[in-house]
Structure 1
Amino acid sequence: MRRESKNNKLTRARDVLSSLEAEYPDARTELVYRNPFELLVATVLSAQATDRSVNLATPALFAAYPDAQAMSQATPEQIEPFIRTIGLYRAKAKNLARLAQLLVERHGGEVPDDFDAVVALPGAGRKTANVVLSNAFGRPAIAVDTHVGRLARRLAFSEHTNPDKVERDLEALFARERWVFLHHALILHGRRVCLARKPNCPGCVLEPLCPKVGVAS
């Protein structure tokens, strides 16, 4: 297959962004939160779980443990009942208990506006840090989850499966000030239209711009 020129790819990326802006003008995270601490906890819980399952569990969790100070006093066994309906709940309960302790010990109970500091917390990787920093603090970032990675490959914006490499590929194609929107719009499109097993290509606004590379990816 002929390799696409950089200029053509940049033009196509611009057109994809315009289509996404028209289709999802209010794209944002579907996790429900009121402050950076709640967003951090919800994002940690969302790993290998649906946002819906997280949103159903967190109201009771946050009522019991409204901040890092309160959660730092809890044991994993005390946290578990609140998140039992979420996948990998035992491991996540351990992470949340220790995460809250470290927030208190290292950051005065506040979520730091610092990428490396967030990544250093239990259960929080690069994706979690990007989600928290972009949504809670307005930092430009593209958090690559399974949806973003899948669409990046199908749209031939990246050939990689490694999320860090996909992130760099997308950053090179899209304007920095639109990174946060792009992340949320791609997630919504991946959930609603460009499904993993059976993408709805006839109903896709990106269909004219999609080279349909790696549709099964």
Structure 2
Amino acid sequence: MTKQKTKQILEALDKEYGVTKEGFVHETDWQLLIAIMLSAQSTDKQVDEALPDLWNTFPDMKKIVDAPVEEIENSIKSVGLYKVKAKNMKKCCEQLLQQHAGKVPVTIEELTALTGVGRKTATLFLADAYEIPGVTVDTHVFRISKRIGWAKGKNPVQVEQELMKALPKEHWNRINFQLIYHGRSICTARKSHCNNCILEKWCEKNL
């Protein structure tokens, strides 16, 4: 993978998908963290549909902690895996109140110690809340980055490290949503639509 090839791929992704992603509705850091937690294995549309009712019903963390889990479930039913996420939300808010005085921590280590917060969620939160550069690797990023030759790692952590070396830091935060959009519409896991792919001429899958 040459720097010139990487530059051309990044320019194509910027042109196709833009350089910024519209964020979830939130007023506080803890709401942003919860919204990102809800987005795992769900679409942005599903999460956006759930958030207004969620914030209206639970305007602060204590109300989530005090609520029966079934009540939380009812507010996020449009989201995938809502039963598991409702339990995680309740426990996460409890941890934030008891261990962090209601403040969301700002390190990967502290964030991933919270219930329901994995490395991807933590990195996305830090990027969205504080513009801290970081690469997040989900199934789409993992698959496409290997197909176009950016990475060869066998797990998300290895691919994350490879991408941080391959990509300019100013692209780290946006490569995730760009490749997610591309993976959902064009370079899918089941079937890649190469004839409609803006990255087709650089893809090692077709070489």
TM-score computed with the length of structure 2 as normaliser: 0.90
- Kindly indicate whether residue 91 of structure 2 is the aligned counterpart of residue 98 of structure 1: yes
1:74 lines up with 2:67 in the alignment? yes
Cα RMSD for the two superposed structures: 2.0
Q: Residue 41 of structure 1 corresponds to which residue in structure 2?
A: 34
Q: Any residues of structure 2 matched to 1:1-217 within 5 Å, and which?
A: 8-28=1-21, 31-212=24-205
Question: Retained in 2: the 8 A contact 1:33–1:39?
Answer: yes
Rounded to whole Å, the distance in 2 between the matches of 1:32 and 1:160 is 35
1:9/1:157 contact within 8 Å kept: no
Paired letter, 2:91: R
Q: Which amino acid aligns with 1:124?
A: V
Deviation, structure 1 residue 193: 2.1
> Aligned to 2:79, what secondary structure does the other structure show?
coil
Contact 2:200-2:206 within 8 A present in 1 as well: no
How far does residue 20 in structure 1 lie from its aligned partner after superposition? 1.1
- 2-side partners of 1:157 and 1:26: how far apart? 19
Residue-by-residue CA offset, 1:50-107 (whole Å, 9 max, x unaligned): 2222221121111111232332222322211112332322221111101011111122
Query: What is the percent sequence identity of the aligned residues?
Result: 37
Paired with 2:206 and 2:140, the residues of 1 have a C-alpha distance of: 15
- The letter for the 1-side match of 2:77 is R
Q: Under a length normalisation based on structure 1, what TM-score does the superposition of the two structures give? A: 0.86
Distance 1:38 1:185, change over 3 A: same
Count of matched residue pairs: 207
How far apart, CA to CA, are the structure 2 residues paired with 1:118 and 1:170?
22
Contact 1:71 1:100 in 2 (8 A): yes
Match of 1:72, SS state, is: helix
Hey, what's the Cα distance between the residues in 1 that align with 2:4 and 2:27?
Answer: 37
